[in-house]
Amino acid sequence: MCGIVGALLRSGSVTEGLIEGLSVLEYRGYDSAGVAVAREQGVEVCKRSGRLANLENALRESGFGASPAGIGHTRWATHGEPSDSNAHPHTGRSGRLAVVHNGIIENHVELKRELLSAGESFTSETDTEVLARMIDRHWVEEGDDEDALLRAVARVVPRLKGYYALALLATTPRGPVLVAVRQGPPLVVGVTEDGGFLSSDQLGVLPRTRDVVFLEDGDVARVGPGRLQVTDARGVEVVREATTIAWDPSDSGKGKYPHHMLKEIHEQPDVIARTAFDRIDLGAGDVRFEGGAFDDAFCRSIERVQILACGTALHAGQIARYLIEGLAGIPVDFDFASEFRYRQPRVVEGTLALAITQSGETADTLAATRLARELGARTTAICNVAGSTQVRESDAAILTHAGPEVGVASTKAFTAQVAAAILLAVRLARSRGALPEHKARELLEELRMIRPKVESLLTDAAIARCRAVARQHAGKRGFLFLGRGINFPVALEGALKLKEIAYVHAEGYAAGEMKHGPIALVDNDMAILVINAAGAVAEKTRANIEQTKARGGVMISVGSDDASHAIAAMSVPVPVTSEWLSPLLNSIPLQLVAYHIAEIRGCDIDKPRNLAKSVTVE
Ligand code: AGP
């Protein structure tokens, strides 16, 4: 949600690097973009509503000159419509300070009222401008140098309610100053001899250095070439250790693909392999996590699992429930993270709260996990970002190795989460003797052999089948996705993919639930994708296909159940695998169908309207 970048160089111009950083972070929000750079006499701002390209044009036309220090922002609007005036950066009245912000200042109305009565005026409807004006006023009172600015920040921060990540750029008599403040949303800093860099996520710093510092809540950091000074929430100077990021900066590009989403779909054979294979111990018919995590004693002490996640990650969580209950026999609940806090949840002794999140920065998931911890649960995470807040706050974490996921629609992160959930379920099952060694080995062997099956879904011929489904049905009024058992969450995920990138109304439904109401929606303008894997529930799902077909529904079958293909109007066959693993395969054609429908409908696939990749507001 909103991308922030900042840089203070020893020499040279910062503008190009800021734009490069914003282009990497644009997935966090794309309602507007802006930059501010430091000049001797003050800060200069250029900002535009709409995509980053609008800002780039404006910068070219205005002949925005070189400066060694600047900040930039790409916005997902929270306060005030997307417009030039509401775009960040916002400045103080002195013209010497600019601020970019990710998050929400909840008491901004009250603070604004106070400032208005003190004679302040505003040019935008944003909470950020309130901040900029406030810090600037205090700075003027405190002096004009860097220390005075820090004193001003220290006066303002305790008055703010909400969560925010800020980058402040100021012009002082001794040169430009770059300051970062974190209270909630992530901020990452990287320092080299050539410059100090900050960004909302590691992708923004990665082109400069792989050694990054994740700021913590309450931190205020001064950033510059060879310099990182951090004070914590108590105002005490602290050293924050750097983490070396394994990702390659080129991983966040599109490669030969027209969209990040398509590239990420194609990465899934590698991603599943990277996440699962090295953790499989076929000899023992078991799973080994790094550092001996999830050992027998820990696993045996788990009486109940509470899954917390949002969106796609929650669908992976729902699949995890089938796996953990089915293989390990441990009761599992799952909740929308955004709802968990509002239903007075009961956390019994022995509960493991399992957060599932690609980014590790989703505000709802973080808040729900914190509550679970407060209520006595131990916490763990399945997460894709090593240094993220979710990982740092968890007692244990299983990292997925999906690499950077840039497309707003999650694809490879989802299959990686499912792969991690399979591993966790097997480990839990083995630790308590719920799954005999030979059965576990059989399942793990099947997982170890799954790569060619995943690849077979990404051949030209397989993609052509998905494209044919898309062509045939792109104009339909609505879509239903049906599945049973472990493939019910796959249906939910298929519907979410279509909604978010193609803007078509779609519902995921439990196949057996259709006859209890939704079947009334069925006519020949409704496309119905049924996910049916050969296995325990295949026959029952087939019966649901027949019931729906009899009402004029246009049936498309996806999966390994040949008999379903025989009775459907169109089909996308998927290789046979264990039913436990079938979501890894069945979800891929659904991603491709959504992708191609979105393409046919001319949608902006990597940046769907109204969305942002990382949702750091509640
Ligand atoms: C998926 O396509 C979505 N963009 C969204 O539902 C996402 O999965 C959700 O916001 C959770 O994000 P996280 O995995 O980073 O926590």
Note the pLDDT tens digit of each residue in 461-508: 999 999 999 999 999 999 999 999 999 999 999 999 999 999 999 999
Active site residue 299: no
Q: Is 594 in the pocket of ligand 1 (CB under 6 A)?
A: no
Query: From edge to edge, which strands make up the β-sheet containing 90-91?
Result: 90-91, 97-105, 162-172, 175-183, 220-224, 227-231, 237-238
pLDDT at residue 80, as a whole number:
76
Q: How does DSSP classify residue 457?
A: T
Pocket test for ligand 1, best of 260, 307, 312, 382 (most atoms within 8 A of CB): 312
Q: What does the pLDDT read at residue 475?
A: 94
CB 214 within 8 A of CB 243: yes
Buried b (16+ CB within 10 A) or exposed e, 580-611: bbbbbbbbbbbbbbbbbbbbeeebebbbbeeb
CA pair distance 3, 470, nearest whole angstrom = 33
| pLDDT at residue 256, rounded to an integer | 92
Q: Catalytic annotation on 613?
A: yes
410 lines ligand 1 (CB under 6 A): yes
pLDDT digit string (tens) for 265-324?
999 999 999 999 999 999 999 999 999 999 999 999 999 999 999 999 999 999 999 999
Of 40 and 442, the one with more pLDDT = 442
Give 464's contacts (C-beta < 8 A, 6+ positions apart). none
Q: What class is the 454-611 domain?
A: alpha beta
Element (H, E) at 272: helix 268-276
Cα 613 to middle of ligand 1, angstroms: 7
Residue 615 confidence (pLDDT) above 90: no
Any ligand 1 atom below 6 A from CB of 357: yes
362 ligand 1 Cβ < 6 A: yes
Q: Are 371 and 401 in contact, with CB atoms under 8 Å apart?
A: no
Whether the pLDDT of residue 377 is over 90: the answer is: yes
User: 2, 46, 310, 466: which is the annotated catalytic residue?
Assistant: 2
Ligand 1 pocket residue status of 408, Cβ below 6 Å: yes
φ, ψ dihedrals at 199, nearest 5°: -160, 155
Q: Which CATH number fits domain 253-449: 3.30.565.10, 3.40.605.10, 3.40.50.300, 3.40.50.10490?
A: 3.40.50.10490
pLDDT of residue 283: 95
- Sequence ranges of the chain with CATH classification 3.40.50.10490: 253-449, 454-611
311 CB near ligand 1 (under 6 Å): yes
How close is the Cα of 28 to the center of ligand 1, in Å? 12
For the entire predicted model, the pTM comes to 0.83
- What was the pLDDT predicted at 57? 93
What is the band of 151 on the pLDDT scale with cuts at 50, 70, 90?
A: very high
Q: Give Cα 403 to chain centroid, integer Å.
A: 12
- Specify the ligand 1 atom closest to the Cα of 311: 6
Q: What is the pLDDT of residue 184?
A: 86
* Alpha carbon nearest to ligand 1 atom 5, residue: 311
The amino acid present at 536, given as its one-letter code, is A
Q: Is the CB of 359 under 6 A from ligand 1?
A: yes
Superfamily of domain 3-251 in the CATH hierarchy = Aminohydrolase, N-terminal nucleophile (Ntn) domain (3.60.20.10)
Nearest CA owner, ligand 1 atom 6: 311
pLDDT at 386: 87
pLDDT band of 177, cuts 50, 70, 90:
very high
pLDDT of residue 279: 96
